[in-house]
């Protein structure tokens, strides 16, 4: 947990630096960023190196906690899970990555708990297991259709609403 907090603080503070602003400019419009004088090759290589650093720390933590790293530990569904978490949370924001990871982890568990609470025993649980997967997929698709900016934008709107709440008519 402390390493996660340090890495999050490092990423958040990176966006406040000249390098972070260059990353954002390249992400938004790389041709315009190059016209403004940002060296594309230099900053793209720097972003690759920085992402490799974060991936290396994550891999080191994985090896420390699970004591073994094999290709079978990383199936295709895990990659899809990570991609969906980033998209649902909101691309381009640190808060979105955190919210997306929490959402993608908690929703299947809550759906599993809801199915387990239904009366009917194991027969009903076996029958409703594919339905739970369909509901989870429908939630993600619906979320992407109705809120393409992700959970980070929802959080910003809620914060803005409650920040101005006493002064609303």
Q: How big is the chain, counted in residues?
A: 169
- 169 or 133: which leads in pLDDT: 133
CA 27, CA 123: separation in Å to the nearest integer?
50
- DSSP secondary structure string, 62-115? HHHHHS---GGGS-HHHHHHHHHHHHHH-TT-HHHHHHHHHHHHHHHHHHHHHH
Would the pLDDT of 166 be above 80?
Answer: no
pLDDT in tens, 81-118: 888 888 888 888 889 989 999 998 888 888 778 777 77
What pLDDT does residue 47 have? 93
Q: Name, in order, each residue with C-beta under 8 angstroms of 88's C-beta and a sequence gap of 6 or more.
A: 100, 103, 104, 140, 143, 144, 150, 151
CA distance 8 to 99: 13
Integer Cα distance of 137 and 143 in angstroms: 10
Render pLDDT for 51-84 as a digit per residue (tens, 0 to 9). Answer: 999 999 999 999 999 998 888 888 988 888 888 8
How is 118-132 classified by DSSP, letter by letter? SSSHHHHHHHHHHHH
* Mean pLDDT in residue range 45-52: 95
- Cα(94)–Cα(12) distance, integer angstroms: 7
pLDDT for the residue 168: 61
Task: For residue 85, give the nearest of 111, 58, 105 by alpha carbon.
Answer: 105
pLDDT of 7 > 90? The answer is: yes
Q: Which residue has the tokens 């924001």?
A: 93
> What does the alpha-carbon distance between residue 142 and residue 144 come to, in Å, rounded to a whole number?
5
What is the rounded distance in angstroms from the CA atom of residue 147 to the CA atom of residue 140?
Answer: 10
pTM, two decimals, is: 0.78
The pLDDT of residue 169:
54
pLDDT tens-place string over residues 121-156: 667 677 777 777 787 788 788 888 888 888 999 899
The answer, yes or no, to whether residue 165 has pLDDT greater than 90, is no
Provide CB contacts within 8 A for 56, sequence distance 6+.
Answer: none
Torsion angle of C-alpha atoms 28, 31, 33, 35, degrees rounded to 10? -160
160 — pLDDT class (breaks 50, 70, 90): confident
Residue 13 CA to residue 45 CA, distance in Å, equals 19
């Amino acid at each position: 947990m402390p390493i996660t907090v340090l890495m999050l603080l490092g990423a958040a503070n990176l966006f406040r630096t000249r390098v972070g602003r260059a990353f954002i400019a390249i992400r938004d419009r790389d041709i315009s960023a190059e016209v403004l004088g940002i060296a594309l090759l230099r900053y793209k290589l720097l972003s690759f190196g920085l992402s490799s650093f974060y991936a290396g720390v994550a891999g080191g933590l994985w090896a420390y906690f699970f004591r073994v790293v094999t290709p079978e530990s990383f199936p295709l569904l895990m990659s899809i899970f990570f991609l969906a978490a980033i998209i649902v949370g909101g691309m381009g924001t640190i808060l979105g990555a955190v919210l997306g990871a929490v959402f993608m982890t908690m929703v299947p568990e809550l759906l599993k708990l809801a199915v387990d609470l239904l009366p009917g025993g194991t027969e009903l649980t076996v029958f409703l297991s594919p339905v739970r997967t369909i509901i989870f997929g429908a939630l993600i698709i619906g979320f992407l259709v109705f809120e393409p900016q992700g959970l980070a934008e929802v959080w910003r709107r809620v914060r803005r609403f409650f920040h101005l709440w006493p002064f609303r008519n």
